């Protein structure tokens, strides 16, 4: 009777479930269970992608195809205002790396929904939090408030980007289904007149005025406040679908035994604050998929714990158990903070320990994610399920196990998510589970969790015309071809058991593989009004590899061990992000399968393979021939109807990388007293809009003079010979130092600190020659980005460059400098290299004159190696040119490894074909390996790499390593061998004006 009462309650819930809309469109609606797109429920499984961190737009397809291949059906995208707007009144959406329409087109072709996040504030560990750097002089007004100055600053950006997005909404034939308003803005005061409420309403009005009709959303900054949900304290500014950011794991790079502390109150949180909406985690990170690491921290390759695929298994299934049906991984691919894109809290790499590495390589935890993504995309029963029970010992015989039980409101299908009560435990626990099925109660014995493992046991699970009464193995996916195919997975040595909901019949099946499967009669305990029900149960112990069961009705059941399951793919035969069980092909064996097409008896797969592997494909009985990356393979048919062949790899292919030979030139002529700075910008302001208080006058903040990113150089003049020292304070961000030279002589500086954003030094003039007139103090200030911004006048508006400089004679303060001049990136906000963009350059002499660009003439330069370096403080510029000839069918992620002697104090920048693709600070670290993608590097043709080596003390500086290397190599069907010349504009003589 208990089960009958529960079924009646579920039926009542089904009758009362009504879809909700924003009253502007019916194409995207929702209720408390899920999002409903074009009238169909869908589990949204998304990954964050920052196109800004990958400047080759053709590789956006590479990343998004790997998202799709590994189980994701959506992509969440930040659009950084800072990337597109070099100066007030200008937004660039046309140059290749900023062509967002191209990105949206790719997402549609690949078959991914899009969650758009245009800011204006994004955070994302990006320079200024994504706010336009031209506003870093304080002219943006009161940031992230309803202040009208700020309103008028961001309004053109939101209008322009949302107008593009509006044309790509699902209502217009595109794939954009949600738009986020602002980012992690906390509503701490629930009042209609609160400035944050008014700000959110300004943004929503601008979004709707630009033509956006799809539902709005927002992401709550952890469980810290209750913001912007229509279901809670809605005094204005609330969005349609509430989202909760979650960062559940603590950061640990070197200790694999820490972490794994899941959050178990998501369900209750959403019930409290957004009970009429689906549960949405717009940024799910923490230990999975990773975390950013700071200057002076650990490098991502050291983060062993964060690469563990068990994180995906435990954390993602925990979310499913709590009724989450919208989820986005932050980051699914991190990319690179090239061209001064980083905020000071991160260094060049934004790998993030993401499941798709910075090198575009698939981590095992992405393969584990794929198992969950393929399950959720075909499990329609999951999308109208509600919480039945949860807790320690719930539905299980052990208090060491925690379970969540969801039950479908229409057909009573059940989903039992099991995990250890202490999810950090590495113990192996075996227990019994009590399942409520439509045929009565079933008790499963010998269920096992192998340490950090979760399981989703199913009951009354529908697959095509069949129903599983129960299944103790995890369902990977199922497909409805000419026959139904079910795919299950377990750890090796674990016991699996399943039964179908049908009258006892022929137990016969034909096994192919090593697993020993037995068929026995079973019965429920008679808790239904129909009494005990008999069934046939199939029990097995999982062995290594694949075992296939062929049943008389044509059903195939694949029994895979976990690592074999990682190489299982279900590429879609349609570009519709909502993939049905009949709209896919199954493939087992290779490293990656991107796309599939079926024509006649040919099934064509496009993919990637590091090693030669077996390839098994099921595409229906008519398919006879496998084509892999355009090459027909020798194909055989198995006894149970699949096709097999051998897919080639690249492990036996030779990659020739050159030993680099360098030429050198001095890159700090500005230190000399007689350097001609007549074209430099004079610092003549006595006040600033910046919230930073100047330490001397005139104002020396670089943004006040139109220089935003990168290293800046100052020249300060004074007369007389009585000065003995100067107190100089610079602010370039965490880890950024400065150096000073009096009339060409190094007089001191600060080599930076990983935890301090400013640096100061008392400069000793004792060793420098002084003159009665026109002494020149040259100061070079380093830069690691503008600060991110929280509510209020800080963040991006915190000054960069010099905060002040004061002369002393002994203990007495002298009259101030007679004049200061500043030089930053060539052209300042003019954006003279629009392809690479306004953030890419800095004020170093060589960069201003374009020495980093392909085609710059170095024929007169002497040979010189960064291994020799400098024997005193200064900046040397090293250039190497070389040709690559990588086979067209190979993907070879390349990088350069830099190292310096212990105790070195330097700041080194790496330019690859004009792109600033690395910043190496050896005394702070941690990064020494710098990858760069095709398009930045030419796989075939000439390449130019430049290194600026800045010795920050008079001890000098040199490198002990500057070696080109390959991370790996893959045989591929993706075209990495293209002409990238449009991404690499070369040197032109107009650069000579920026001396």
Measured between alpha carbons, how far is 927 from 945 in angstroms, rounded to an integer? 18
Tell me how far apart the terminal alpha carbons of the chain are, to the nearest angstrom.
87
Q: What is the 3-state secondary structure (H, E, C) of 48-60?
A: EECHHHCCCCHHH
> What string of DSSP letters covers 328-353?
EEEEEE--B--TT-B-TTS-SB--TT
Tokens of 827: 């052209």
Say if CB 866 and CB 662 are below 8 A apart.
Answer: yes
Q: Which residues contact 103 (CB under 8 A, 6 or more apart)?
A: 51, 57, 60, 77
Using left for φ > 0, alpha for ψ between -120 and 50, and beta otherwise, residue 172 falls in alpha
Specify whether the CB–CB gap between 229 and 273 falls below 8 A. Answer: yes
CA distance linking residue 526 with residue 504, whole number of Å: 16
Quote the CA–CA distance of 405 and 402 in Å, as a whole number: 10
Q: Which pair of structure tokens corresponds to residue 701?
A: 């903040």
What does the alpha-carbon distance between residue 226 and residue 224 come to, in Å, rounded to a whole number?
A: 7
Structure tokens at 735: 């880890």
Residues with Cβ within 8 Å of residue 9, at least 6 apart in sequence: none
Contact 917, 338 (CB under 8 A): yes
Q: 58, 283, 670, 905: which one is catalytic? A: 283
Q: What is the distance between the alpha carbons of residues 282 and 35, in angstroms, rounded to a whole number?
A: 14
Closest CA to 483 of 465, 470, 471: 465
Q: Retrieve residue 753's tokens.
A: 């600190």
Q: Active-site residue 58, yes or no? A: no
Structure tokens at 70: 């590994």
What is the signed CA dihedral for 898, 903, 909, 910, rounded to 10 degrees? -10
Q: Which helix (H) or strand (E) holds 14?
A: helix 2-16
Preceding amide of 791 cis, omega within 30: no
Nearest of 948, 782, 835 to residue 340 by alpha carbon:
782
CA–CA dist 73, 95 (Å, integer): 28
Q: What angle do CA 271, 275, 281 make, to 5 degrees?
A: 75
Helices and strands in the chain, H and E counts: 12, 55
Note if 184 is an active site residue: yes
- Measured in residues, the chain has a length of 995
Non-local (6+) Cβ contacts of 193 within 8 A are none
Among candidate residues 489, 471, 373, 372, the one with its CA nearest the CA of residue 415: 471
- Residue of 184, 358, 361, 841 with catalytic role: 184
> Tokens 């999951």 identify what position?
382
Find tokens 């790997």 and name the residue.
Answer: 66
Q: How far apart are CA 572 and CA 479, in angstroms?
A: 11
Residue whose tokens read 């519709």: 576
| Beta partners for residue 504, in sequence order | none
**DSSP tag of 126:** B
Selection from 894, 893, 956, 872 nearest residue 922 by Cα: 956
Contacts of 59 (CB under 8 A, 6+ apart): 360, 933, 934, 935
Q: Specify the 3-state DSSP secondary structure of 541.
A: strand
Sheet containing strand 874-885, strands side by side: 663-666, 874-885, 940-951, 906-912, 915-920
**Residues annotated as catalytic (active site), given as ranges:** 184, 283
């Amino acid at each position: 009777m208990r089960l009958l009462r529960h079924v009646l309650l579920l039926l009542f819930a089904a009758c009362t479930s009504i879809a909700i809309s924003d009253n502007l469109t019916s194409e995207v609606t929702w209720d408390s269970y899920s999002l409903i797109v074009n009238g169909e429920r869908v589990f949204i499984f998304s990954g964050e992608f920052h196109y800004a961190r990958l400047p080759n737009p053709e590789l956006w397809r590479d990343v998004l195809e790997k998202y799709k291949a590994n189980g994701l059906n959506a992509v969440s995208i930040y659009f950084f205002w800072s990337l597109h707007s070099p100066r007030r009144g200008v937004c660039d959406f046309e140059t290749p790396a900023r062509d967002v329409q191209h990105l949206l087109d790719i997402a549609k072709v690949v078959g991914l929904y899009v969650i758009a996040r245009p800011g204006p504030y994004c955070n994302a560990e990006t320079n200024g939090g994504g706010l336009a750097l031209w506003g870093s002089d304080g002219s943006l007004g009161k940031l992230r408030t309803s202040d009208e100055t700020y309103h008028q600053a961001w309004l053109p950006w939101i209008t322009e980007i949302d107008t593009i997005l509006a044309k790509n909404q699902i209502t217009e034939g595109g794939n954009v289904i949600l738009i986020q308003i602002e980012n992690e803005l906390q509503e701490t005061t629930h009042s209609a007149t609160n400035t944050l409420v008014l700000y959110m309403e300004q943004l929503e009005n601008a979004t709707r005025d630009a033509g956006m009709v799809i539902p709005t959303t927002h992401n709550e900054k952890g469980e810290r406040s209750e913001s912007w949900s229509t279901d809670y304290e809605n005094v204005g500014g609330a969005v349609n679908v509430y989202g909760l950011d979650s960062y559940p794991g603590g950061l640990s790079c070197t200790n694999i035994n820490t972490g794994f502390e899941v959050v178990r109150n998501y369900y209750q949180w959403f019930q409290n604050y957004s009970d009429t909406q689906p549960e949405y985690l717009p940024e799910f990170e923490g230990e999975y998929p990773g975390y950013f690491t700071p200057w002076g921290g650990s490098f991502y390759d050291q983060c062993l714990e964060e690469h563990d695929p068990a994180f995906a298994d435990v954390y993602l299934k925990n979310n499913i158990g709590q009724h989450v049906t919208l989820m986005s991984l932050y980051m699914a691919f991190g990319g690179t903070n090239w061209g001064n894109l980083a905020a000071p809290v991160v260094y060049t790499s934004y790998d993030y320990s993401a499941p798709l590495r910075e090198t575009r390589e698939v981590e095992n935890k992405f393969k584990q994610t794929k198992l969950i993504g393929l399950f959720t995309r075909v499990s329609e029963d999951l999308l109208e399920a509600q919480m039945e029970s949860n807790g320690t010992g719930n539905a299980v015989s052990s208090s060491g196990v925690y379970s969540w039980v969801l039950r479908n409101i229409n057909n009573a299908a059940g989903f039992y998510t099991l995990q250890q009560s202490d999810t950090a435990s590495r113990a192996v626990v075996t227990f019994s589970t009590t399942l409520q099925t439509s045929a009565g109660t079933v008790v499963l014995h010998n269920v096992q969790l192998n340490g950090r493992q979760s399981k989703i046991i199913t009951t009354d699970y529908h697959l095509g015309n069949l129903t599983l009464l129960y299944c103790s193995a995890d369902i990977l996916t199922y497909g409805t071809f000419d026959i139904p195919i079910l795919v299950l997975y377990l750890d090796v040595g674990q016991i699996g058991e399943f039964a179908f909901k049908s009258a006892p019949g022929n137990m016969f099946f034909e096994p192919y593989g090593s697993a020993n499967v037995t068929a026995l009669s079973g019965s429920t305990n008679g808790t239904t009004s129909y009494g005990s029900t008999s069934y046939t149960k199939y029990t097995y112990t999982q062995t290594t590899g694949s075992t296939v069961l062929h049943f008389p009705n044509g059903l195939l059941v694949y029994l895979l061990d976990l690592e074999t399951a990682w190489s299982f793919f279900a590429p879609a035969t349609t570009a519709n992000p909502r993939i049905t069980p009949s709209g896919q092909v199954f493939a087992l064996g290779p490293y990656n399968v991107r796309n599939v097409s079926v024509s006649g008896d040919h099934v064509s797969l496009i993919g990637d393979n590091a090693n030669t592997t077996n390839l098994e494909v099921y595409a229906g009985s008519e398919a006879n021939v496998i084509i892999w990356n355009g090459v027909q393979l020798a194909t055989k048919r198995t006894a149970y109807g699949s096709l097999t062949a051998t897919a080639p790899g690249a492990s036996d292919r030779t990659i020739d990388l050159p030993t680099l030979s360098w030429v050198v030139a001095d890159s700090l002529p500005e230190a000399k007293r007689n350097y001609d700075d007549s074209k430099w910008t004079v610092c003549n302001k006595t006040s600033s809009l910046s919230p930073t208080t100047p330490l001397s006058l005139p104002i020396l903040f670089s943004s006040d003079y139109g220089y935003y990113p990168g290293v800046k150089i100052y020249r300060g003049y004074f007369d007389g010979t009585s000065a003995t020292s100067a107190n100089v304070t610079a602010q370039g961000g965490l880890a950024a130092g400065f150096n000073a030279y009096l009339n060409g002589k190094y007089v001191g500086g600060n080599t930076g600190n990983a935890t301090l954003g400013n640096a100061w030094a008392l400069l000793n003039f004792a060793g420098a020659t002084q003159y009665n007139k026109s002494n020149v103090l040259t100061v070079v200030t380093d830069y690691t980005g503008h600060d991110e911004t929280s509510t209020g006048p800080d963040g991006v508006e915190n000054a960069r460059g010099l905060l002040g400089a004061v002369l002393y004679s002994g203990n007495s303060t002298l009259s101030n400098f007679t004049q200061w001049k500043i030089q930053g990136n060539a052209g300042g906000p003019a954006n003279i290299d629009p392809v690479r963009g306004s953030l890419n350059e800095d004020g170093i002499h060589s960069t201003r004159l374009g020495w980093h660009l392909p085609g710059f003439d170095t024929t007169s330069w002497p040979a010189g190696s960064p291994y020799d370096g400098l024997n005193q403080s200064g900046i040397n510029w090293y250039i190497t040119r070389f040709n690559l000839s990588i086979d067209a069918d190979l993907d070879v992620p390349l990088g350069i490894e830099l190292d310096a002697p212990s105790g070195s104090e330097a700041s080194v920048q790496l330019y690859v074909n004009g792109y600033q693709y690395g910043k190496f600070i050896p005394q702070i670290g941690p990064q020494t390996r710098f990858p760069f993608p095709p398009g930045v590097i030419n796989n075939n043709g000439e390449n130019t790499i430049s290194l600026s080596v800045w010795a920050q003390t008079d001890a000098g500086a040199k490198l002990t390593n500057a070696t080109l290397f390959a991370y790996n190599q893959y045989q591929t069907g993706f075209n990495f061998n293209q002409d990238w010349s449009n991404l690499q504009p070369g040197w032109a003589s107009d650069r000579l004006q920026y001396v």
